[in-house]
A and B are shown apart, each in its own frame.
Chain A
Amino acid sequence: MTDKVMSADEAVAQVHDGDLVAVGGSLFSRTPMALIFALVRSGRSGLTLTRSLTCYEAELLMVSGGVDGLVTSWVGLGLQWGVSPVVRMLVEQGHAFHEEWSHLALGLRFKAGAMGVPFLPTATMMGSDLEARSKAARVTCPYTGQELLAVPALVPDVAFLHVHRADKFGNLQVEGYRHMDVDIARAAKRVVVTAEQIVDTSEIVRNASDTMLPHFTVDAVVHQPFGAYPGECYGLYEADMAHLDSYVQGLRDRGPQAGVEHYLRENVTTRATFDDFLQHVGRDRLAALQQQAMEMTT
């Protein structure tokens, strides 16, 4: 076991141009935003992003030039804000590709990667245009003759996760829903994690059944409180809907491209670290989100 603690910038050096990057969490929950911001600043390009519910983090990476393709089951801004104007613009103009799978099909693609098998059979997506447009072939059960869809394993080059607790070796614990994090990490070639807290291994041992992933699946551990902000981290802080709302408003006022560029200048590219960004957001605001989360989960 080795000490894997490093900075976000050092951790993001695990990403190379052209990589397939899997992002943990889902929608505005436990999205590894500190790593997304560091990836924007790194200037990597030609990346493909894969995730189940994809939203604002993809827009940031697409406009900044990092990501030009999505492998996803859904992309939008969230129910209250509708479709993603950036994805609409880039996909409708042919500047980015959007490969769509159903949630279960995408989840099983990660699971196949996690299990070390080339595909998994499933009864979903059959007969739809998602199947017709996908790379998935069919397979016949050798026992019953039932025809099933064989979804191919998806092996990301790098996975980004955000968790509640890690030790320095990369034993990871979370609270609440786990999204697709376990399969994403087990499928990926390299795994980079931000943690709200770095704790001693003895503390991990105390609640060993909360451990989501063992150290040998993890390559880099970054200590980053509020690392999922402006999204939520279950039980610790609520999503900052006002921040996200003003982001969406910026896209409406300035147009998708200029709106995202403005947001990046204000929050990402002119801030050396994620902590600088959090300081800009303000301590009181973060404390209020912690309070809301506590009321919601206790």
Chain B
Amino acid sequence: MSPASPEELRTITISRMLDDHRVVFAGVGAPLVASALARRLHAPHLSVVLEGGIIGVTFRDGSLPVSTNEMRAAFGAPMLTDITDVFLYAQAGFFDYGVLGAAQVDRFGNINSSIIGDHDHPTVRLPGSGGANDIASLCNKLLIVTSHESRRFVEKVDFITSPGWLSGGTTRCDAGLRQGGPAAVVTELAVFDFHPVSKEMRVCALQEGVTIDEVRSRTGFELTTVADVGQVAPPTSVELQTLRKLTGVDAHQ
């Protein structure tokens, strides 16, 4: 079996953070795949919610949904509702985790998926929030998964689409967001958490074979670390095989 690709590594790492019997509000792409993997392995009772109004997504190998509202996503789900309704469950505190990808993320875990450059004269107009802002504002704990490039890991995002810890310290709470906030960021290089007081992102554990200098050289801001930086356990063959069955990538390649 070929080793895990960077994307597979990220997906496996974040799937381990989803505990059984919890409720996860997942964005499409890696967050959804990670939720599917968690259900297949250690969290068979994890409830997966999609913003398209699907509560309790089940997954079929090789047939993962690519959007938040489609029949593949609805198959086997015990409840189909409307979009606004799903987010009102989040606002009422029912969702343990939100999981999001990020086009751009900064040292306080703020995410940009709207605009690169100036708001009134954008260099690139991106698709926008969708439900990402709501997931980041309202879920009890936010997990972020993204590829690690210095253009993505910036000191300050061009536009805060989805709020992290805003400017750090108590600024998130001061802005009126009483719940949630980013707890972890997962990349193919490392896992990050946020300082309990300053709310700055810091290196928590390194992926196998990665050095702290490598992480720093691919990050666009000054990184601190926890006192005792750990090692992320490498993917097991069971994790990799299960993931490849789900995504339809040939497990024997």
A residues near B (Cβ < 8 Å) are: 26-29, 52-53, 72-76, 78-80, 83-84, 87-88, 91-92, 94, 98, 100-105, 107-108, 110-111, 122-130, 133, 138, 146-149, 176-183, 232, 234-235, 238-239, 293, 296-297
Contacts and interface: CB of A to CB of B under 8 A. Distances in A.
Contacts of B69: 26-27, 29, 53, 177, 179
B161 A29 contact: no
Contacts of A78: 66-67
A110 B125 CA distance: 25
30 contacts: A29-B70, A53-B67, A53-B69, A73-B129, A74-B129, A94-B121, A100-B114, A101-B129, A102-B132, A104-B138, A107-B83, A107-B84, A107-B87, A123-B138, A123-B178, A125-B134, A126-B176, A128-B163, A130-B114, A130-B161, A148-B176, A177-B83, A178-B81, A179-B52, A183-B82, A232-B71, A293-B71, A296-B71, A297-B71, A297-B74
Contact of B134 (A27, A98, A104, A296): A104
Contacts of B130: 52-53, 73-74, 102-103
Contacts of B179: 123
A70 B238 CA distance: 46
Contact of B162 (A110, A128, A239): A128
B79 to A, nearest CB: 10
A180 B129 contact: no
A103 B71 contact: no
A239 B83 CA distance: 20
Most B Cβ at <10 Å: residue of A107, A122, A232, A297:
A107
Contacts of B74: 176-177, 234, 297
Contacts of A88: 124-125
Interface string B34-74: 00000000000000000111100000000000111111101
A150 to B, nearest CB: 12
A271 B177 CA distance: 51
B159 interface: yes
A123 B128 contact: no
7 closest A-B pairs by CB: A127-B175, A107-B84, A76-B127, A102-B133, A104-B87, A74-B130, A177-B53
Contacts of B87: 103-104, 107, 124
B32 to A, nearest CB: 10
Nearest to A26: B69
Given A124-B91, A128-B161, A234-B71, A179 B82 contact: yes
Query: Size range of the interface on B?
Result: 35 or more
Contacts of A28: 67, 70
Contact of B88 (A74, A92, A104, A234): A104
A127 B180 CA distance: 13
Select the residue from B67, B71, B82 with max chain A CB neighbours within 10 A: B71
Contacts of B160: 127-130
Contacts of A76: 127
Contacts of B176: 123, 126-127, 138, 146-149
Contacts of B161: 128-130
B75 A129 contact: no
A102 B179 CA distance: 17
A39 B133 CA distance: 32
B220 interface: no
A123 B138 CA distance: 8
A100 B126 CA distance: 11
Contacts of B75: 296-297
Nearest to A238: B71
Contacts of A235: 71
A178 B53 contact: yes
B230 interface: no
A126 B178 CA distance: 10
Given A27-B68, A127-B172, A239-B70, A103 B83 contact: yes
A181 B122 contact: no
B91 A180 contact: no
B235 interface: no
Contacts of B83: 26, 52, 103, 107, 177, 179-180
Given A79-B29, A92-B125, A108-B84, A126 B70 contact: no
B80 interface: yes
Contact of A125 (B54, B119, B137): B137
